Chain A
Amino acid sequence: MKQILGVVVSLIIFAGCNTLTLAPGDFSWPVESVLKVNSKGIVQDQRYSFSLDVKKLLFAETQDSVDVAKWSLRMIRDTKGYYYITAAKFKNVYVFEQTEAGLKLSKVIFLSAAGIDAPEFNQRPPFIQLLNGNEPPLMLSKDGIQEGGKK
């Protein structure tokens, strides 16, 4: 019995030693990407070479997944690798994390019930700055608004 326990413990320790972690890392984009949604609900980014189906996001925000081609999404990635997505007339900023061949929603940051007019992201480590016309800028993190508004 002791022998079996020893083997199990050794295996656990060995497995733990094999979980290689590379840190710290900086995944921030220096500048946001403005991505036009095509008729199939997909955005493509030339600079970072990815494409993403955003129909579900648009439906979540607007309850409409048909008239998708009118949207231009603004997207930026913070130092930790979280993606922030919003658009003009959106009520929220959506925070995503990377998952296998896609993005998984991490947080929805509420901004305004009427929607924001001209959102623009700036990279301001450790935060993401959100501008909206002449309104005071907001500092966002994956957990919500950190400065300049309701947290």
Chain B
Amino acid sequence: MKTATRVMFLLASSIALVGVSTICQEKSDYSTVQQFQETVKTIEVNIDAAKTSQDCAEVSAAIARLEITFSGDRELLDKTLYPDDYGKIIEKVRAKLALRQHDLGTIDMQGARIVELEAKIKELSDQLAKLNVDNEKLMADVKNLSSNIQKLTGNEFNTTTPIDSLRALIVQLRQGLQQRDQLVYALADSLFLQYDKNVGDMKDVEKQTLTGKLERYGILPTVKRSIQDNLAFLESTQLKGTDLVTLVRQQQQFTSQWKGLMPKVSALYATKSGAKGKTGKSSAAESAAIDSLLTTWGNKVDAAMWRSLNQLFKDHGFIVKDFGNGREFVANFSTFIEEQTQNTQQEDKNKRYKFYQNFEDGVWKGEFGVVWLPALVHMQKITSDQKKDIEDRIAVWRASVEPGTNWITYVLILLGAAVAAGIVLWLLRKKSVPPAAAA
């Protein structure tokens, strides 16, 4: 009996379960459509909110789940979602995700680049700070050593060690200053590169951030300090010759880099919040001070360079009227050569030739012709036409003093030719005699 009851109970349970499952299978089409649309909306919101590739991967998995969940309702959704359909909506969501992934890829790349640049900026900034300290110490050392050398007299002065040490220090300091000049512009470039666009295209918030960074890393004060240190270096060292050529080039490069940076800085501060603000005004003042210092530096380094070139001629005993710029140099040096060519002093030809040879060996084939003259053209102090004119004048001077050929030379040449002809004839005659006849 009990068994029969159990069987009945199990049967009833089974029927009930089948019934319940049948009931559970019935669902509202409207709810299905609503659920689908809400899931799609949630996915779209998540796509917009995705900030990393991982977020995108999660959304992609959600789309896959959506497809699986609603695949059985495809027919209903196709009818209900008109003018779209199930397939089109899935396709649209996937396309939206792909677009977001592409954008994020670009953003990720830009982000990585910014991080990389930030690291570079930090490194450059640290190097700059270290160089500031090193250069300051070197500058003090150069001043001390220079003053000690000036105190030396007689044999002590001939000792080369202190002078060599000073020279080594100066080279070190000059290299330090040059490195610092390059670093400050590299730092400024890196800061602007982070935004990878013209200042005019930047949003206000980007401009403010960049302005903050320029101020934090003290770009303008460092540029100013660089010029001041270069000026101090120029004044505290008695540089000559090629060293000065290097300095002029350095100053020109610095000026050109500043001309590249200044418009960007000005544009950055020329915003509502910048130009009218305190920082905008102080930046304008700083820029003006830098311009003025650069002019002073340029004038001083130019003056030192021309002085050094004047001195080069004097040291070799050539009296060229003093010059202070390219135009004066060309005029005065041309006059000097012209005087030599024209022999205005009515000097003996041998003496003039010897004088020319001294010029050629000591100056023309030395520092002046090899280093100074090409450098003057490169630095745009003189034109290449003026250089060519100088070279031509020197050639004429040489031709005018070079000893000419005399009659002894001609006799020697004729004698040489006769001997050569005799040898040739003798050899030909020897060849034309048959061996038997010879025997």
Show the binding face of A for B, using Cβ within 8 Å. Answer: 30-32, 34, 74, 120-123, 129, 131, 134, 136-137
- Residue B84 is within 8 A (CB to CB) of chain A in the complex: no
> Which single member of A31, A134, A136, A137 contacts B30 (CB below 8 Å)?
A31
A contact face: mostly helix, strand, loop, or mixed? strand
Q: How far is the CB of A120 from chain B (nearest CB, A)?
A: 4
- Residue B26 is within 8 A (CB to CB) of chain A in the complex: yes
Q: Can you show 5 pairs from A to B with CB atoms below 8 A apart?
A: A30-B80, A32-B29, A74-B30, A131-B26, A137-B23
Residues in chain B near residue A122, CB distance under 8 A:
26, 28-29
Q: How far is the CB of B147 from chain A (nearest CB, A)?
A: 94
Let me know if A120 and B28 touch, CB within 8 A. yes
> Which single member of A31, A121, A129, A131 contacts B76 (CB below 8 Å)?
A31
Instruction: A136 to B28: give the CA distance in the assembly, Å.
Output: 13
Q: How far is the CB of B155 from chain A (nearest CB, A)?
A: 109
> From B75, which residue of chain A is reached at the shortest CB distance?
A30
B contact face: mostly helix, strand, loop, or mixed? helix
> From A120, which residue of chain B is reached at the shortest CB distance?
B28
Instruction: A34 to B23: give the CA distance in the assembly, Å.
Output: 23
> From A134, which residue of chain B is reached at the shortest CB distance?
B23
Let me know if B23 and A30 touch, CB within 8 A. no
Show the binding face of B for A, using Cβ within 8 Å. Answer: 23, 26-31, 33, 76, 79-80
Instruction: A119 to B107: give the CA distance in the assembly, Å.
Output: 50
> From A123, which residue of chain B is reached at the shortest CB distance?
B29
Residues in chain B near residue A137, CB distance under 8 A:
23, 26
Q: How far is the CB of A151 from chain B (nearest CB, A)?
A: 20
Closest 3 CB pairs of A and B: A30-B79, A120-B28, A31-B29
Residues in chain A near residue B33, CB distance under 8 A:
31
Instruction: A131 to B31: give the CA distance in the assembly, Å.
Output: 12
Residues in chain A near residue B23, CB distance under 8 A:
134, 136-137
Residues in chain A near residue B76, CB distance under 8 A:
30-31
CB contact under 8 A between A34 and B29, given known A134-B23, A136-B23: no
Let me know if B26 and A34 touch, CB within 8 A. no
CB contact under 8 A between A131 and B28, given known A31-B33, A136-B23: yes
Instruction: A136 to B26: give the CA distance in the assembly, Å.
Output: 9
Instruction: A97 to B23: give the CA distance in the assembly, Å.
Output: 30
Instruction: A31 to B82: give the CA distance in the assembly, Å.
Output: 12
> From B27, which residue of chain A is reached at the shortest CB distance?
A131
Most buried by A among B23, B28, B76: B28
Residues in chain B near residue A129, CB distance under 8 A:
26
Instruction: A30 to B29: give the CA distance in the assembly, Å.
Output: 8
Q: How far is the CB of A136 from chain B (nearest CB, A)?
A: 6
> From B31, which residue of chain A is reached at the shortest CB distance?
A120
Most buried by A among B30, B76, B79: B30
Residues in chain B near residue A120, CB distance under 8 A:
28, 30-31
Instruction: A120 to B27: give the CA distance in the assembly, Å.
Output: 9
Residues in chain B near residue A136, CB distance under 8 A:
23
Q: How far is the CB of A78 from chain B (nearest CB, A)?
A: 14
Instruction: A123 to B33: give the CA distance in the assembly, Å.
Output: 13
Residues in chain A near residue B27, CB distance under 8 A:
131
Instruction: A136 to B30: give the CA distance in the assembly, Å.
Output: 18
Instruction: A121 to B79: give the CA distance in the assembly, Å.
Output: 16
Residues in chain B near residue A134, CB distance under 8 A:
23
Q: How far is the CB of B82 from chain A (nearest CB, A)?
A: 8
Q: How far is the CB of A34 from chain B (nearest CB, A)?
A: 6
Let me know if B26 and A31 touch, CB within 8 A. no
Instruction: A123 to B76: give the CA distance in the assembly, Å.
Output: 10
Instruction: A32 to B32: give the CA distance in the assembly, Å.
Output: 11
Q: How far is the CB of B92 from chain A (nearest CB, A)?
A: 19
Q: How far is the CB of A81 from chain B (nearest CB, A)?
A: 17
Instruction: A76 to B395: give the CA distance in the assembly, Å.
Output: 110
> From A135, which residue of chain B is reached at the shortest CB distance?
B23
Residues in chain A near residue B79, CB distance under 8 A:
30-31
Instruction: A20 to B3: give the CA distance in the assembly, Å.
Output: 70
Supply 6 further A-B pairs (C-beta < 8 A) apart from A32-B30, A74-B30, A129-B26: A31-B30, A121-B28, A122-B26, A122-B29, A123-B29, A131-B28
Q: How far is the CB of A68 from chain B (nearest CB, A)?
A: 22
Residues in chain B near residue A131, CB distance under 8 A:
26-28
Instruction: A32 to B29: give the CA distance in the assembly, Å.
Output: 8
Q: How far is the CB of B161 from chain A (nearest CB, A)?
A: 98
